[in-house]
Amino acid sequence: MTAYTATVTVRLKRGVLDPEAETTRRALERLGFELAGLRSADRFDIDLEAEDADEAADRAEEMAERLLANPTIHDYEVAVAEK
């Protein structure tokens, strides 16, 4: 078994309104920053023991499917690195 960190990034699907990101963008502009757009995402760093990186990724993907993301509004991606 090897120690991995699986990083799950959950984003709103393209086209789904993100009011919090929009509010954050406006706040940055009020501070004088110039930006063309801003998107936010949730990132989960999951430490786990697995036989190999594929198994670690599979398990993280199942976590995303079953809880971390809502498939109606979210896309997600999984990246795995040895800890």
Partner 1 sequence: MTVAVVQFGGSNCDRDAVRALSHLGVDAERVWHEDGLPPDLDGIVLPGGFSYGDYLRAGAMAARAPIMAAVRDAAEEGVPVLGVCNGAQIGSESGLTPGAFTTNASARFQCEPVSLRVERADTPWTRAYDEGEVIEVPIAHGEGRFEIDDDAYEDLVADDRVLFRYCDADGTVTDEANPNGSTGNVAGVLGERETVAVLMPHPERATLPDVAGSTDGEGVLRAFV
Span of 27-35, 45-53, 55-63, 70-78 interacting with partner 1 by CB under 8 A? 70-78
Tell me the two tokens of residue 56. 């670690």
Neighbours of 76 (CB within 10 A): 20
Q: Does 45 bind partner 1 (CB under 8 A)?
A: no
Span of 18-26, 30-38, 49-57, 75-83 interacting with partner 1 by CB under 8 A? 18-26
Taken in order 63, 68, 74, 76, is the CA torsion positive or negative? negative
Span of 1-9, 15-23, 30-38, 53-61 interacting with partner 1 by CB under 8 A? 15-23
Buried b (16+ CB within 10 A) or exposed e, 48-62: bebeeeebbbebbbe
Catalog residues that contact partner 1 under the rule CB under 8 A: 13, 16-20, 22-23, 66-68, 70, 72-73
